[in-house]
Amino acid sequence: MLRIGFVGAGRIADVHYEGYRNNPNARLYAVCDTDPDLLARRAGEWGVERTYDDYRRMLDDPRVDAVEIITPHHLHRSMTVDALDAGKHVSVQKPMALSVADADAMIDAARRSGRLLRVIENYRYHAPFVKAKELLDGGAVGEPVSIRIKSLTGNARHGWDIPKGAQDWRSDPARAGEGSMVFDHGQHIWSLARYFMGGVESVFAFMGREKAESFHELRPGTLLDNPTMVSWKYGDANRYGSWDAVYSGDMVVRSRYYPIYVWTEITGTSGILWVNGFIGGGLGKPALEMYRDGEITSIIGADSDYASSFARAGRDFAEAILEGRESEMTDEEGREVLRLSLAVIRSGRERREVVVDEVGS
């Protein structure tokens, strides 16, 4: 039984815990957070054996086998490198880091230590995405031609309460990076773009700016990088993708989590796959549908809950450690997703097509 430590016990740690409840290979042993009230509450809720207010003390504990780093973005690099140097396996939240140089330092530390480093990307454990990829790779809709993704953020009164602290650091580019949508939420989009159709050669982004008076994850009045429209070209053939993100601040989103709907359409040479909703659910449609031979089929009817993707991610992390294999996403893949996000930001800022290889290589 592996003993896991969480560094950061904030909003999203809620669903990380699902990965270790009833996990046959690992249990949540320790939690670290600098907020003493939160730490005490989490210790009680989760029944952990040890609590720490300094992550370095947690790393000194020889009983901790692996850590999940669930803190603001600017802390990912130092915490990951320190944990690997202390001999712990590491799962770090997205974005892997704020810069490619930071990601490189983390990968170097992983190779030096021989421990597992993965970037936890829960979208790659969401059952409809996993099944859609299986169908796509199996040729169910022919050769993939294009992918189209949409993110819609609705009224902040729906879904989870977001801690004020989480809004504070997210409203500060020095801690969160540049762009709540393109850089933070966008990591999932760039991950999906690569997951389904491979390496991206170049991107073009229109990045809007609007004042977020009540955006769930930002302080009122912070500038939000919305509406945004990004298109990209895959490197291996004449294939393209696009993503648009909008903020519909008066819209009800029926979510138990963030007030966001994400939907995806992949067109192949002989059919279409739709993953109809994530986070907020499927907007009343089946979670995964396929069009082929003139017929639409519901492949997965009921939506699988957002938290279940984190439960699978936790189980996979423990199994990967025990089996000595990689886990989604690998550190190298996390670096590529990060590079893609930075290319999109550069394109939006400089108003030109940006080749991904211009960034950090």
Ligand X SMILES: NC(=O)c1ccc[n+]([C@@H]2O[C@H](COP(=O)([O-])OP(=O)(O)OC[C@H]3O[C@@H](n4cnc5c(N)ncnc54)[C@H](O)[C@@H]3O)[C@@H](O)[C@H]2O)c1
The three-class DSSP label of residue 178 is: coil
Which of 184, 303, 331, 336 forms a contact with ligand X (CB under 6 A)?
184
Q: Tell whether residue 50 is a contact of ligand X (CB under 6 A).
A: no
Tell me if the bond preceding 227 is cis, omega within 30° of 0.
yes
- Per-residue binding string, ligand X, 223-242, x by CB under 6 A, is --------------------
When the beta carbons of 92 and 354 are compared against ligand X, the nearer one is 92
Q: Tell me, what DSSP letter sits at residue 44?
A: H
| Residue that is written with structure tokens 């949540």 in the block | 28
Helix, strand, coil percent content, the chain, rounded in steps of 5: 40, 25, 35
Q: Which of 192, 195, 260 is nearest to 230 (CA)?
A: 192
The three-class DSSP label of residue 65 is: coil
Please name the helix (run of DSSP H) or strand (run of DSSP E) that holds residue 163, with its range, or none. none
When the beta carbons of 33 and 328 are compared against ligand X, the nearer one is 33
When the beta carbons of 13 and 152 are compared against ligand X, the nearer one is 13
> Which residues, numbered 106-135, are part of the site for ligand X (CB under 6 A)?
122
When the beta carbons of 135 and 338 are compared against ligand X, the nearer one is 338
**Rounded distance, CA 235 to CA 92, Å?**
28
Residue span binding ligand X (CB under 6 A) among the ranges 67-75, 237-245, 267-275, 290-298: 67-75
Residue span binding ligand X (CB under 6 A) among the ranges 23-31, 68-76, 110-118, 328-336: 68-76
Strands (E), 101-188: 117-120, 144-153
Which amino acid appears at position 24 of this protein?
Answer: P
Strands (E), 143-239: 144-153, 200-207, 210-212, 222-224, 228-234
| Residue that is written with structure tokens 């290589």 in the block | 361
Which of 59, 70, 203, 311 forms a contact with ligand X (CB under 6 A)?
70
Q: Tell whether residue 182 is a contact of ligand X (CB under 6 A).
A: no
Tokens representing 233 are 């070209």
Smallest separation, CB 166 to ligand X (Å) = 3
> Which burial class, exposed, middle or buried, applies to 24 when counting CB atoms under 10 A from its CB (0-12, 13-18, 19+)?
exposed
Smallest separation, CB 120 to ligand X (Å) = 7
When the beta carbons of 13 and 141 are compared against ligand X, the nearer one is 13
Q: Tell whether residue 259 is a contact of ligand X (CB under 6 A).
A: no
> Which residues, numbered 2-41, are part of the site for ligand X (CB under 6 A)?
7-13, 32-35, 38
Q: Tell whether residue 314 is a contact of ligand X (CB under 6 A).
A: no
Instruction: Name the site residues for ligand X (rule: CB under 6 A).
Output: 7-13, 32-35, 38, 55, 70-73, 75, 93-94, 122, 163, 165-166, 184
